[in-house]
Amino acid sequence: MREKPRFNHRGFFHAYTKEVLKPKKTMARIMPWLYYILGKKRLYKLIAKGEYDAAIGYEHLIKDFPEVESVKNDEKRHGDIVSELLE
Ligand SMILES: [Fe+2]
């Protein structure tokens, strides 16, 4: 059974920065086109890589903000989920 996230990432970082983060709508809008152009296998590999890269990107924060580890783990889990869709 997978670890369930405690809260969303936007809310998590808002507690620290007080900034209201907005999703990247452009990326969401071009996903169907990328699916069409690249195909499922290549697109899902790119998405999984983005999730794993995000996890790595959070690692440097964990020393000062140990709570960030749950966010990092979420990103790793997202990458795993997308990767599993390719199996
Ligand atoms: Fe993610």
pTM, full prediction: 0.83
CA distance 45 to 60: 24
In a domain, 18, yes or no: no
**What's the gap in Å between 52 CA and the centre of ligand 1?**
8
What span, in angstroms and rounded, lies between the C-alpha atoms of 16 and 13?
5
Which of 7, 18, 9 lies closest to 55 in space, CA to CA?
9
Q: How many domains does the chain have?
A: 1
28-58 residue pLDDT tens:
899 999 999 999 999 999 999 999 999 999 9
Q: Residue written as tokens 């990103």?
A: 75
Q: Is residue 1 part of a domain?
A: no
Distance from Cα 37 to the centre of ligand 1, integer Å? 23
| 12 within a domain of the structure (yes/no) | no
Residue 57, domain member (yes or no): yes
Q: State the residue range of the domain holding 50.
A: 24-84
| DSSP run (H or E) holding 69 | helix 68-84
> Residue 28 is which amino acid?
A
Q: How far is the CA of 74 from the centre of ligand 1 (A)?
A: 7
- The predicted-structure confidence for 72-85, as pLDDT tens digits, reads as follows 999 999 999 999 99
Within a domain: 29: yes
